[in-house]
Each structure stands twice: as structure tokens, then as C-alpha cells.
Amino acid sequence: MRRYSVVNLSNGSNLFTGHVSMTGRVGDREGSFDIEDSGMGSPDGASGKWQIVAGSASGELAGLKGSGSWTWEKGSQDVAYSLSYEL
């Protein structure tokens, strides 16, 4: 599930914040967790910071903590993600 709030600015950029529910694997452990994502976007690119919502991890990922960032540049099909975490 994804839920976002977006503020569109007069210069064509936008500010956003939202929550995303993730299910999958981290290392060799499986489970789910929620991420809070916030950042800024424009026609030339976007970037954001995100963190794992405290207490949201379940399954073998219970207790998961972490944060990261991402960037996207106009013309690229790739998004660069980073995540530092503790289990």
C-alpha cells in the first residue's frame, strides 16, 4: 500500500511525504515493514529520504531499524537507493 501527500509549488516542483508498506527479504530474513518517505521533485529529477517506521517490522524482520535515501535524474531509467539498517 502507498499513501502520499503532495504539495505542488508554483515553480513546477513539488514536496511530498508518504508511507509505503513493503514485504520481502532483507538479507536472509523475510517479513514486512513500513517506510516513511519524504522529499522534493521537479521535472529535472527527484530525491528523498526515508526511514523504517519504528515498530512496523514483522516476521523474521521484527525489530528492523534503518534509514536511507534515493535520487532520480531526468533522462535516467534508474533510481539510486541506499539503506543502512540494523536487525
What are the pLDDT tens digits along the chain (87 aa)?
889 999 999 999 999 999 999 999 988 999 999 999 999 999 999 999 999 999 999 999 999 999 999 999 999 999 999 989 998
The pTM (predicted TM-score) of the whole model is 0.79
pLDDT for position 26 = 86
Q: What is the CA radius of gyration of the chain?
A: 14
Domain boundaries, the chain: 2-86
Contact 33, 58 (CB under 8 A): yes
Q: What is the dihedral sign for C-alpha 52, 53, 54, 60? A: negative
**β-strand partners of 22:** 33
Contact 17, 41 (CB under 8 A): no
Q: How far apart are CA 7 and CA 76, in angstroms?
A: 24
CATH assignment of 2-86? 2.40.350.10
